[in-house]
Amino acid sequence: MTANSSPASARTPRHREPHSISLVIPCYNEEDVLPELRRRLQELVSQYSCPVEVVLVDDGSKDNTWSLLAQYSREDKFIKAVRLARNFGHQTAITCGLDQTRGEVVVILDADLQDPPELIPDMIKDWRDGYDVVYGQRKVRHGESFAKKFFAFAFYRTFEKIAGLKVPRDTGDFRLMDRRAVNALQSLRERHRFVRGMVSWIGYHQKALLYDRPERFAGTTKYPFRKSLFLAIDAITSFTYAPLRLASYLGIATSALAFLYIFVVIALKILGISFSGYTSLMASILLLGGVQLTVLGILGEYVGRIFEQGQQRPLYLIDTIQGEPLESAQHSSCKACGQ
Ligand code: UDP
Ligand code: MG
C-alpha cells in the first residue's frame, strides 16, 4: 500500500467491471503521434465488452491534428472528437474533455503515449477494489531533460510544504477517476486550474500505480520551461496564500534591518565616527524599492486572478464536436434488449 492509499476497511470493493469507460486525451499539435495512439487505443478498446468512448480534445492545434481526429471519429465509433475554438492550454483541454464524458470511470492520459494506455486494465483492477482515483506515479522518467526533472522534483516538494496539500510526487495528469470523483472535480470551476492538485483536494479513496514513464513517442514537448513555470505559479496561487505571508515576512525583515541600521549609525555617531551617506542611501533605496516591487508583484498575481475569476467568462469555447460513442452504444444496447 502506498502512503496515499486508503485502508481496505474504508473502501467498498465493487467486484465488477465498469458499465462504461471514458478516456480523455488532450491533443495540441500531435499529428506525429496520432496514428500510433489510434492503433493502441483500438487494441485497448477491443479488450472490453462494455461501451468505451475516447474523447480526443484538439486544443487549437495548428497542424493536421483536427483533420486526423475528425477522420478517426468517422471511422472508429468509439471516438468523439472535440475541437476547441483556440488554444486554451492543457489543463483547460482536460476540463473540457471531462465535461464531455459519460462513462462510469474516466481515464485522463496524454496523447504522446507517455501514459501507456496498456496500464488502464491495472487501474480498473484498483477501481474494482473500491478506489475512486488511481493515479500513475512515475518510477523512472525517460527522455526528459535534467532541468525538467529537477524543476519537477523541487516543485512537488515546495508545493507540499507551503500549500499543506499532499499532491502525490512525480505524477502528471494520468489517472483513472470514478464518476463521483469526476462530478466533484467538475464542481470546481476555478479559472486557473491545477488539475492534479484539485483531484488531491477532493479526497475519496486514492491510490498510486507505479510505472516507468517512457519517452514521448514522436514530436516535441508542448511544455517548454515557461509553461511549466506558469503552471507552477497557478498551482501555488490557487492552493495557498503563503506567498502573501512571505510578503509580510519580507516587510518585517526589512523593517528590522532598518532599525538595526539606525542603531548602528547612532552608535557610530556617539563614538565620533562619521561616514559619507551616499552609498548607504543608495543601498537602502535599492533594497526598499526591490522589496516593495516584489511584494507588489506577489499581490498583483492574486489580484489578477481575482479579476479574471470575477469576469466569469466560460473556461473554454468549443468549435466542433464530432461523434457520440456512448450515446450510440447505450442506444443500440437498448435496442438489443428491446427497450
Ligand atoms: N497539450 C494541450 N495543450 C497545450 C499543451 C499541451 O492539450 O497547450 C497536451 C499535449 O498534446 C499532450 C499533453 O498536453 O497530450 C501533455 O503535453 P506534453 O506531452 O508536451 O508535456 P510533457 O509530457 O512534455 O510535460
Ligand atoms: Mg509528454
Cβ burial of 307 (10 Å; 0-12, 13-18, 19+) is: exposed
Position with higher pLDDT, 99 vs 145: 99
As a whole number, mean pLDDT of residues 22-47 equals 96
Q: Write out the E strands in the chain.
A: 21-27, 52-58, 79-84, 105-108, 133-141, 171-178, 206-213, 318-322
CA distance 176 to 21: 10
Position with higher pLDDT, 148 vs 105: 105
Per-residue pLDDT of 125-163, as tens digits, reads 999 999 999 999 988 777 677 887 788 888 888 888 888
Position with higher pLDDT, 284 vs 244: 244
CA distance 165 to 162: 8
Angle between helices 179-186 and 90-100 (to 10 degrees): 120
Instruction: Say how many CA atoms lie within 13 Å of 16 toward its Cβ.
Output: 8
Position with higher pLDDT, 65 vs 9: 65
User: How far does the centroid of ligand 1 lie from the alpha carbon of residue 92, in Å?
Assistant: 11
As a whole number, mean pLDDT of residues 170-190 equals 93
Per-residue pLDDT, 339: 31
CA distance 26 to 123: 20
Place of cell 533594497: 287
Per-residue pLDDT, 205: 94
In degrees rounded to 5, what are phi and psi of residue 22? -120, 140
Q: Is 78 helix (H, G, I), strand (E, B) or coil?
A: coil
Please report which confidence band the pLDDT of residue 5 belongs to, taking 50, 70 and 90 as the band edges: low
Place of cell 468517422: 74
10 pLDDT above the threshold of 80: no
As a whole number, mean pLDDT of residues 51-73 equals 96
Q: Could you tell me if the CB of 151 is within 6 A of ligand 1? A: no
Lowest-confidence range among 70-74, 89-93, 162-166? 162-166
Among 52, 49, 48, 26, CA closest to 37: 26
Three cell numbers, residue 107: 481515464
Strand partners, 321: 82
Which of 94, 110, 195 to mutate to test ligand 1, by most ligand atoms within 8 A of the CB atom? 110
53 pLDDT above the threshold of 90: yes
Q: Could you tell me if the CB of 138 is within 6 A of ligand 1? A: no
CA distance 99 to 173: 16
Which ligand 1 atom is the nearest neighbour of the CA of 219?
20
Which residue puts its alpha carbon closest to atom 13 of ligand 1? 110
Please report which confidence band the pLDDT of residue 247 belongs to, taking 50, 70 and 90 as the band edges: confident
Please report which confidence band the pLDDT of residue 22 belongs to, taking 50, 70 and 90 as the band edges: very high
Per-residue pLDDT, 126: 96
CA distance 176 to 136: 9
Cβ burial of 142 (10 Å; 0-12, 13-18, 19+) is: exposed
328 pLDDT above the threshold of 70: no
273 pLDDT above the threshold of 80: yes
Instruction: Give the CA radius of gyration of the chain.
Output: 25
Per-residue pLDDT, 206: 94
As a whole number, mean pLDDT of residues 22-41 equals 96
Place of cell 551616499: 278
Three cell numbers, residue 296: 507588489
89 pLDDT above the threshold of 60: yes
User: How far does the centroid of ligand 2 lie from the alpha carbon of residue 216, in Å?
Assistant: 5
Per-residue pLDDT, 29: 96
Lowest-confidence range among 47-61, 152-166, 177-191, 204-218? 152-166
Pairing of β 171-178 and β 79-84: unpaired
Per-residue pLDDT, 9: 63
Three cell numbers, residue 87: 488554444
What average pLDDT does the chain have? 87
The residue type at 184:
A
Which ligand 1 atom is the nearest neighbour of the CA of 28?
11
CA distance 121 to 73: 23
Per-residue pLDDT of 278-307, as tens digits, reads 777 777 788 788 888 888 888 999 999 999
1 pLDDT above the threshold of 60: no
